[in-house]
Amino acid sequence: MVFKKRTCMVMAFLMLASLSHAVDKKSDVPVQKAVAFLDLISAGKVDTAFDSVFKGSSVPADKPQEYDAVKKQTSMGLSVYGKPLGYDFVSETYYGTSVVRVIYDLKMAKGPLTWIFYFYRPSSKWFALNVSFNDQLTGISN
């Protein structure tokens, strides 16, 4: 009986610890933005995906030609890999309280593409600093 009671107490403590970790988490916003981006990419809406993830960022205004080129290159590049089949969360790494890297694998018919997002929060809102993808699976290692 004592064993069962201790086991229950340990289980309850672990559950509370995991709940408090979820509540203390710095923010879900970067992950939500990455997921929204990948949903749009999967739907073939590359321009909308980039415009959405970079909303609030100075990147499109500071580098308009490069920004437009990346959107075009992404559209062309995605066509090589076939149809999007879904995506898998890989990692979320915080660098202090203002920078986070989020990594997802986008499952494509011909192989996975690793998407790496860097988000920045100078005050209260997160915005994308950099979004890239590759087919070498280099982003999934620490």
Grouping H, G, I as helix, E, B as strand and the rest as coil, residue 72 is: helix
Q: Is the pLDDT of residue 13 over 50?
A: no
Q: Which residue has the tokens 């609030």?
A: 56
For the chain, what percent of residues have pLDDT higher than 90?
A: 58
Q: Where are the domains of the chain?
A: 27-140
Q: Are 118 and 100 within 8 A, CB to CB?
A: yes
- Name the packing angle between helices 46-53 and 64-80 (round to 10°): 130
Higher pLDDT, 28 or 116: 116
Task: Tell me which residue of 41, 37, 47, 63 sits closest to 128, measured CA to CA.
Answer: 37
Quick check: 49 pLDDT over 90? Answer: yes
**Residue tagged 């229950």 (tokens):** 8
Q: What is the structure's pLDDT at 137?
A: 67
pLDDT grade for 28, boundaries at 50, 70 and 90: low
Among candidate residues 100, 93, 92, 103, the one with its CA nearest the CA of residue 122: 100
Q: Give 45's pLDDT tier (boundaries 50, 70, 90).
A: very high
Average the pLDDT over each of 2-11, 47-56, 91-100 and give the range with the smallest value.
Answer: 2-11
d(C-alpha 5, C-alpha 55), whole Å: 52
| pTM for the predicted model, two decimal places | 0.76
Tell me 138's DSSP state: G
Predicted pLDDT of residue 53:
94
Q: Residues near 70 by Cβ (< 8 Å), separated by ≥ 6?
A: 50
Out of 3.10.450.50, 3.40.50.720, 3.40.50.150, 3.40.5.10, select the CATH number for domain 27-140. 3.10.450.50
Residue 75 CA to residue 64 CA, distance in Å, equals 17
pLDDT score recorded for residue 72: 92
